[in-house]
Chains A and B, each alone.
Chain A
Amino acid sequence: MMWEILYIFLGVGIFFNLLGSLGLLRFPDVYTRLHAGTKCTTFGSISICLAVIGYGLWKWYEGDKQMITMAIHSFIALVAILLTNPTGAHAIARAAHRSGVKPAKAVVDDLEEEKND
Chain B
Amino acid sequence: MIALGVLAAIAAFVAAFLVTWPLLGGKRRWLAPAAAVFAAGLAFAVYAIGARPDLPGLPYDRASAQRAEADPMALTRGERILRLQDMIRAGGADAQAFNLLGRELARAGRDLEAVSAFEQALHLSPDARIYSDFAQTLINLNEGRVTAEARSAFEEAARLDPSLPEPSFFLGLGAYQDGDRDEAARLWLLTLAGLAADDPFSAVIAGRAADLLSRPQADPALVAELADSPDMTPDQRIALMVEGLERRLSFAPDDLSGWLTLARVKAALGDDAAARAALGEARVRFGAEPGAQALLAAAEGALLDEEADEER
A-B interaction: no
Chain A: residues with CB nearer than 8 A to chain B?
Answer: none
Chain B: residues with CB nearer than 8 A to chain A?
Answer: none
